Structure 1
């Protein structure tokens, strides 16, 4: 297939979509960890069985909506210009995607006495309403903990999230999709050899005082 803008944004070859998605996930988890407890990346919401597949979320956080209640979150970055969405506006596309996420995760979240909030954004950084609600709650909690003006924290959080989306999209457009492999299969042995060559002790950095 000919490579164009839409194909680059949609193509999962090489794992670039997943890598970008994980950057956004990690930024949100890192911000949440500053103010909430029980933050976990890729929590298992349902163990797999012979009759039912397992289910993972992207993030689990305790205390967002209720002090003793966990909330589960799943990130989705949508190319709203893809052919499958060409006849819909962003609002309907985001709402339909959110409903699909709720159908997939709500029951499992309820079984864990938790709630589920999808974190959906377009490639242009337009957040779905539930993502906006979550980010506003996060801003309020951070502002209270850090004793800073809410407007300042809102700008900080917005910048962090938007930059992570920009990096994710840039990776899809500019990243290399060709897979490479190392001639050395044992990564741990290679790391040991590298540290020995650098004269490192217990992974400690060498002194730069004499350089």
Structure 2
């Protein structure tokens, strides 16, 4: 759960990425996973920890999410709040630390070179959300509810449940391991969020 590398940790990260991408495809254009950023051409970054690799990638991008026609970039981080590096600080401070690390790595480059917006999506292994990821999923729920003509409360309830189940499955995978993981496809096109929430008994 605390180690930063390994196949199970990648699965934990990738499942949240793919679920979020499927939601974005319902409301945005030009959605892609792991898009390559534009290469630097002599630009100087303010922070030493900025990613200056010409093959640098982020987890997600979508056009028109925050601003019309402007490309939005998202980078996901899922951390264990019980890890040794977070002992002695509050949960809010741990979220802020992880958000700032992502912003220093990608924010300035995306804003000035790719001419886009950047949002760090920082979650805990148990489903806790930082301030920026809360704002992101709140905006996503608003747009999905408006486009699908469904109650926002049901869209939010479905979204929270879907993300929680993804994190729970991947956490169990990290703890117990597995010999085989069947590939899964995520398709929510045409999904009736209200009916799904009611049928599953999800609290709104």
After superposition, the C-alpha distances for 1:10-32 in whole angstroms (9 at most, x for unaligned) are 23564110111101100000011
The one of 26, 34, 50 aligned to 2:26: 34
User: Is 2:20 the counterpart of 1:19?
Assistant: no
* Aligned pairs (5 A) from 1:50-129: 52-110=53-111, 111-129=113-131
Q: Distance in 2 between matches of 1:55 and 1:143?
A: 33
Are the counterparts in 1 of residues 37 and 54 from structure 2 also a CA contact under 8 Å? Answer: no
The corresponding residue for 2:190 is none
Residue 161 of structure 2: which of 159, 162, 170 is its match? 159
Distance in 2 (alpha carbons) for counterparts of 1:12 and 1:93: 16
Name 1:137's counterpart in structure 2.
139
- Count of residue pairs brought into register by the alignment: 169
C-alpha displacement of 1:99: 0.7
Gapped regions of structure 1 (runs ≥ 5): 1-8, 178-211
Q: Please, which runs of 5 or more residues in structure 2 have no aligned partner?
A: 42-51, 180-204
Deviations 1:167-208 (A, max 9, x none): 22111111149xxxxxxxxxxxxxxxxxxxxxxxxxxxxxxx
Offset at residue 107 of structure 1 (A): 2.0
* Matched residue SS, 1:72: strand
Where 1:142 maps in the other structure, the secondary structure is helix
Q: Pick which of 82-91 and 12-21 moved more.
A: 12-21
Q: TM-score, normalised by structure 2?
A: 0.77
The answer to whether the Cα contact below 8 Å between 1:46 and 1:56 also exists between their aligned partners in 2 is: no
Instruction: Give the corresponding residue for 1:204.
Output: none
Deviation at 1:109, TM superposition (A): 1.1
Change over 3 Å in CA distance of 1:39–1:17 after alignment to 2:
same
User: Can you list the C-alpha shifts for 1:31-58, whole angstroms capped at 9, x where unaligned?
Assistant: 1101111100000014489x84531100
Q: Deviations over 1:147-169 (max 9, x none)?
A: 01111111111111111111221
Task: Quote the Cα distance in structure 2 between the aligned partners of 1:114 and 1:52.
Answer: 18
CA distance change for structure 1 residues 13 and 144 in 2, over 3 Å: closer, same or farther?
closer
